[in-house]
Amino acid sequence: LPSVVEMPWRTPATSLNADGRSWIDEGIVTALRSRCSIPDVVEIRIPSAEQRPFDAPPGWFCAYECWFTEFGVRFPIFRHLLDYAYQRGIPMSQLTHGVVRHMIFTEALANHLGIAFDRELFE
């Protein structure tokens, strides 16, 4: 897995009303693009303070920093990960970090061993 990306310092939430908002800003986007090899063709939107992971606009999905900095997710997004969420009728943001981490690890392990990775192998 890639080394952890150094992220700008973040101010803690000051009230319960602010909990759940994204802390991402242009500095974090720049760091992610650079250190995680996110190509310029990938459009990243910084959500407003009111937006939450479950209400991404149509055609978009929420991706968490840790997917790239800790779990090794890269673009294009791994097809099996997209299919896994789609087949369950849930947005990508509702997949637990464990599911994402284990799927990326299992796919890498299968590739290393020369085994075809599919949903049956993962599950």
pLDDT at 109: 87
pLDDT at 11: 47
pLDDT at 9: 47
Distances (CA, A) of 70 to 34, 98, 102, 105: 15, 11, 12, 11
pLDDT at 19: 58
pLDDT at 16: 41
pLDDT at 6: 52
pLDDT at 20: 62
pTM (two decimals): 0.69
The four Cα atoms 10, 102, 83, 74 give a dihedral, to 10 degrees, of 50
DSSP codes joined into one string, 21-46: -----HHHHHHHHHHTT--TTS--PP
Q: What is the mean pLDDT of each run of 10 residues along the chain (123 residues)?
A: 46 50 83 90 87 82 86 86 89 88 87 85 77
